[in-house]
Amino acid sequence: MHSETPLVLTALVFGYALVSGLIKRWYLAPALIFVLLGMALGPFGLNLLDAGPGTEGYTVLAQVALTVILFVQASRLDIGRVMRRGLLSFRLIVIGIPLTLMLGALTAALLLPVLPWWEAVCLAAVVAPTEVALIETLIDDERVPDRVRNALSVESGFSDGIALATLLAAVALASARVDPHPADWLWFAFRTEVVSLFMGVSVGLAGGLLVVWSRRRGWLNDIWAQLATLAIALICFEVGEGVRASGFVAAFTGGLAFAFVTIRGTAVSDGGATAVSDGGATAVSDGGATAVPNQVSDASAQLLELMVFAMFGAFAVIDGWRNVSWRVVAFSIVAVFAVRMVAVLVALVRTDLPLYSRAFIGWFGLRGIGTLVLGLLVINRGEIQHTDIIAQTVVVTVTLSLVLHSVTSSIAIRGYRNGDR
């Protein structure tokens, strides 16, 4: 990176932190603010930022950001509780996300006929991950019913991992078109799916057991427990990459394994009660001795994420929109809004959730860091022929989502003023 870039990025974060509470009242996604700032400070503006998506510095920053986010999100999820009690979340995960991927691939094949089928699947996987936390008020505002907020949060936690697994499988099958040796792409698929899962679960379980063991003995305070969580996330990624598997899959599965150990460790220690509302997002109360707080890990994830969005605004947005075709714009609109809405409404059919809440969940499928990094992953691997379409779609999808979801969030939340709709 340019010598001024780290200073500019950290100054942006500091400046935003000073007014973050004020901006939150405006229902704007912080990511949108940083994209706009990046555009103003990048080469098309004041030229104070000097690194783009094609550079190693940006790629590493984006990889670290997604690694931390994947692990932190997964480490809050209780899969057992989701399956037993999280009816809305369970339906969104097992019906909504796969249906989103399927409809997205069909839409890509129809609107972008130049794409071979498995590249259309790749594109659908890239734009599938959702990130409701981009607009904090969607999960903080108490006017939105608890079960709606929790369902959105849990779905968001799982969508990155499922989309990533789908993407890697599709990349393997897409590369099979040009590779005459099936053993090569079958081994790639095995490494990125099975080996990654095994390595992530192994590291997550081991790290979680050590954290619980140390917490029970009073050796690990809250701050260091959170730093240990971040360290385990990065270890999962490095171990996965070290065996030529997928570090991202390892981070996600490692986070799930870490949650499995720490949630159960909390439930049996010192009478700690684990309170989980619909969907399996875990909140620990009553003094659980092994519970790991998340303030530091959340702040670290958001810091990295906002820096990525600033660089995205500086180097990708203007170029992406300048050369975009109408087919890419049409696909992005349909994928983000229509495909998502249809998938959610189908997933939640015959539930007791009011129609307004179903539409609320269907509308607020924000696209963010997951789409950015999965797009980078596809482009950097070089195994897809139409990387230009992938890049343009990422830019259009993320910017449309940030703008339209920010503009409509306050209106949609006010729709709950008459109670649970």
What is the rounded CA–CA span in Å between residue 248 and residue 270?
34
User: Could you give the residue ranges of the DSSP H alpha helices within 127-181?
Assistant: 137-140, 146-176
Below-70 pLDDT ranges, the chain: 1-3, 51-56, 83-85, 176-185, 265-291, 382, 418-421
Angle at 141 between CA 140 and CA 143, to 5 degrees: 145
**60: Cβ contacts below 8 Å, ≥ 6 apart:** none
Nearest alpha carbon to residue 97 among 401, 281, 344, 370: 344
The predicted pLDDT at position 275 comes to 43
Q: Is residue 421 part of a domain?
A: no
Other beta carbons within 10 angstroms of residue 278's beta carbon come to 21
What is the rounded CA–CA span in Å between residue 258 and residue 291?
12
96 with 344: CB under 8 angstroms?
yes
CATH of the domain at 277: 1.20.1530.20
Number of domains into which the chain is organized: 1
Encode the chain in three state secondary structure. Answer: CCCCHHHHHHHHHHHHHHHHHHHHHCCCCHHHHHHHHHHHHCCCCCCCCCCCCCCHHHHHHHHHHHHHHHHHHHCCECHHHHHHHCHHHHHHHHHHHHHHHHHHHHHHHHHCCCCCHHHHHHHHHHCCCCCHHHCCHHHHCCCCCHHHHHHHHHHHHHHHHHHHHHHHHHHHHHHHCCCCCHHHHHHHHHHHHHHHHHHHHHHHHHHHHHHHHHHHCCCCCHHHHHHHHHHHHHHHHHHHHHCCCCHHHHHHHHHHHHHHHHHHHHHCCCCCEEEECCCCEEEEECCCCCCCCCHHHHHHHHHHHHHHHHHHHHHCHHHHHHCCCHHHHHHHHHHHHHHHHHHHHHHCCCCCCCHHHHHHHHHCCCCCHHHHHHHHHHHHHCCCCCHHHHHHHHHHHHHHHHHHHHHHHHHHHHCCCCCCC
pLDDT in tens, 364-379: 999 999 999 899 888 8
Sign of the torsion formed by the C-alpha atoms of 173, 175, 177 and 179? negative
Q: Is residue 420 part of a domain?
A: no
What is the rounded CA–CA span in Å between residue 233 and residue 359?
34
249 with 196: CB under 8 angstroms?
yes
Nearest alpha carbon to residue 397 among 35, 62, 1, 14: 35
The predicted pLDDT at position 364 comes to 96
The predicted pLDDT at position 302 comes to 87
pLDDT in tens, 72-90: 888 887 777 776 667 898 9
The structure tokens listed for 41 are 């400070």
Find the domain containing 374 and state its range. 5-414
For residue 217, give the amino acid letter.
R
For residue 362, give the amino acid letter.
G
Q: Is residue 91 part of a domain?
A: yes
Q: Is residue 313 part of a domain?
A: yes
Other beta carbons within 10 angstroms of residue 57's beta carbon come to 15
How far is C-alpha 218 from the geometric centre of its chain's CA atoms? Answer: 33
Q: Is residue 89 part of a domain?
A: yes
pLDDT in tens, 273-331: 444 444 455 433 333 445 677 777 888 888 999 999 999 999 899 999 998 999 999 99
The predicted pLDDT at position 252 comes to 92
Nearest alpha carbon to residue 134 among 28, 226, 12: 28
Predicted model pTM: 0.86
What is the rounded CA–CA span in Å between residue 203 and residue 242?
13
The structure tokens listed for 145 are 């019913």
Q: What are phi and psi of 274, to 5 degrees?
A: -100, 110
What is the rounded CA–CA span in Å between residue 380 and residue 248?
15
The predicted pLDDT at position 83 comes to 67
